[in-house]
Amino acid sequence: NAGVTQTPKFQVLKTGQSMTLQCAQDMNHNSMYWYRQDPGMGLRLIYYSASEGTTDKGEVPNGYNVSRLNKREFSLRLESAAPSQTSVYFCASSVAGGGGVEQYFGPGTRLTVT
Amino acid sequence: AQSVSQHNHHVILSEAASLELGCNYSYGGTVNLFWYVQYPGQHLQLLLKYFSGDPLVKGIKGFEAEFIKSKFSFNLRKPSVQWSDTAEYFCAVNDGSNYQLIWGAGTKLIIKP
């Protein structure tokens, strides 16, 4: 049981390049989340997927797109990376949606945009 | 907008010292409250949570937190810390109306052996 996995662990991009961060969970959870974490700030929600086939914007969605490929997988795409997107990205999942439910986190992806 | 404030960004303690990490939030209604922890090299994981009932909540590894509604606080405590408690601790709040958790900036705790 791997829990929540993310790839890659580290990535360096040049401004304007695109990339997709992958996330998968093997806990049969319905809901999945993408966060970013910046120094001195808490985690901020980028996008959320309550269930397969649905996605919703979070607090900071600009510059990102997501795909809930199936129940297990939820990817985050940067179409044209900018230095402001340098951050650590966390994927999480929970049994159901709603803020009162425990979320399970992946190890994070450290992204640097130069 | 809701906000969550963690008072100390860095705390250094010796083993066996008592710990209290502060967390205050801005929302005045019903809240769900969480403390998460990230040990070095590990994933963020839930330490404890409060939804309702007894305001003193016990979590894993001897941690507890007290919800004081009048002070909008949910402080984390441990009577005697160990070197293995070295980690970053995050407070998070949800107002129950949607899925969004609002997170504090985190407190990095270092325990000197």
Cβ of B105 within 8 Å of Cβ of A41? The answer is: yes
Cβ of B100 within 8 Å of Cβ of A98? The answer is: no
**Three-state DSSP class for A65?**
strand
Taking the alpha carbons of B31, A48, A57, A41 in that order, is the dihedral positive or negative? positive
Q: What contacts B1, CB < 8 A, 6 or more positions away?
A: none
**Three-state DSSP class for B25?**
strand
In this predicted structure, the answer to whether residue A92 has a pLDDT above a threshold of 90 is yes
Collect all residues from B whose CB is shorter than 8 A from any CB in A. Answer: 4, 9, 32, 34, 36, 42-46, 49, 51, 90, 92, 94-106
Q: What contacts B34, CB < 8 A, 6 or more positions away?
A: A102, B46, B47, B48, B49, B50, B91, B92, B93, B94, B101
Tell me how far CA of residue A114 lies from CA of A38, A111, B94, in angstroms.
16, 10, 35
The two tokens of residue B64 are 């507890």
CA–CA gap between residue B48 and residue A20 (Å, rounded): 33
- Return the minimum-mean-pLDDT range out of A37-41, A59-63, A79-83, B72-76: A37-41
Residue A63 binned pLDDT confidence (cut-offs 50, 70, 90):
very high
Identity of the residue numbered A74: F
Cβ of B96 within 8 Å of Cβ of A99? The answer is: yes
CA–CA gap between residue A63 and residue A76 (Å, rounded): 10
The pLDDT score that the predictor gives to residue B95 is: 80
B73 near B31, Cβ under 8 Å? no
Q: Nearest chain A Cα to B41, which residue?
A: A107
- Return the minimum-mean-pLDDT range out of A89-98, B57-66, B76-85, B94-103: B94-103
Task: State percent of chain B over pLDDT 90.
Answer: 78
The pLDDT score that the predictor gives to residue A2 is: 81
- Give the nearest partner residue to A99 out of B32, B42, B104, using CB atoms: B32
CA–CA gap between residue B82 and residue B63 (Å, rounded): 12
Helices and strands per DSSP (H, E), number in chain A: 0, 11
